[in-house]
Amino acid sequence: MALLRRTDEPLVFSEAFVNEMREETLAALAQFQPRLDGQTLFVTKHKLSSIHGCEAKFLAPDDFEWTPARARGQIAHKAIQQMINWRGEPTPRDLVDDAMARLADQENDFGRWVAGLSAGDEAELRGHAVEHVNKFIETFPPLDPRSNPATEAAAKWPVDAPITFSSRVDLVMGKPEGRESRKLIIDLKTGRVSPMHREDLRFYALVETLVRDVPPRKLATFYLDSAQPIVEDVTEGLLRSALRRTLDGVHALIELTVEGREPVLRPGTHCRWCPLSDGCPQSVADKSHDDLDASDG
């Protein structure tokens, strides 16, 4: 399978390269800091994908509402996370029921929405989520405990700084051996293929490199509907490109949210779920397909 190591030649990034990446990043963040006007900035994959999309949509009021179609990815993700750490062999329905119960207990908008579902909406959501968990079980290769699989793996860098990069990865496998890169970062998706998914993973690889000192070896987006991973090798060029995109995003975020620059309209697939699309001269929205899973945004 595409996710497996297929060569005996170790992948090793030089310590000098990683140090150079870290020093370049710290120098750039130091230049950004005076422009924050005392504010803090939390940089995530979602903010970066939004700011590099349509800036007007990024600044628009969020009128998002949960529906069973949009929530199925969230429930399926949680159920898969539970499965990886569950003793025994639970059924997909057991996993989904447990995931829904846990999420309904959370004190946030999504938890309150799940807790208040009607019987019909709850059944529809459960059916969608069970379908996705079934697809994962049927198509994803068995996880060897020796590969140290971890779900919802979080990382933040730098610590206690006004600008912080933050990532949370669906599934991580492997661990470095000395300076040899052996870690695999996997994002699970239940919606359409998007170029942004690759950019998300490259940001994850950048944060992993800055935090752990050793880059991952591969990145993979696994699409449950097609049982197909899109895999990318981690290279110095990929990490440098991810850093430039991230710093460009930080610059734009400060311009828009602190310095008050006018946003740029950029039409694209995001127009389908933009609250400004009805009156936007650049909109290319096709509302007939507005059923993307929220977890894939």
Q: What is d(CA 138, CA 184) in angstroms, rounded to the nearest whole number?
A: 20
Q: Are 208 and 183 in contact (CB under 8 A)?
A: yes
Which tens digit of pLDDT belongs to each residue from 224-261? 888 889 999 999 999 999 999 999 999 999 999 999 99
Q: Domain boundary residue among 224, 240, 257? A: 257
267: Cβ–Cβ under 8 A, 6 or more apart, which residues? Answer: 54, 282, 283, 284
Asked if residue 267 is part of any domain, the answer here is no
One domain, residues 48 and 179: yes
Asked if residue 221 is part of any domain, the answer here is yes
Q: What is the pTM of this model?
A: 0.89
One domain, residues 79 and 178: no
Q: How confident is the model at residue 2 (pLDDT cuts 50, 70, 90)?
A: low
One domain, residues 128 and 197: no
Q: Which domain holds residue 103?
A: 68-139
Which tens digit of pLDDT belongs to each residue from 38-74? 999 999 999 999 999 999 989 988 777 898 988 998 9
Q: Domain boundary residue among 84, 109, 139? A: 139
One domain, residues 194 and 83: no
One domain, residues 96 and 224: no
One domain, residues 46 and 153: yes
Q: What is d(CA 136, CA 225) in angstroms, rounded to the nearest whole number?
A: 9
Q: Domain boundary residue among 139, 173, 188? A: 139
Q: How confident is the model at residue 290 (pLDDT cuts 50, 70, 90)?
A: very low
| 3-state secondary structure at position 130 | helix
- Check residue 280 and give its pLDDT: 82
Following DSSP, what letter does each residue of 49-64 receive, concatenated?
Answer: HHHTS-HHHHHS----
Query: How many domains does one find in the chain?
Result: 2
One domain, residues 171 and 117: no
One domain, residues 23 and 155: yes
Asked if residue 10 is part of any domain, the answer here is no
Which tens digit of pLDDT belongs to each residue from 158-189? 998 999 999 999 999 999 999 999 999 999 98
One domain, residues 46 and 149: yes
One domain, residues 109 and 169: no
One domain, residues 48 and 189: yes
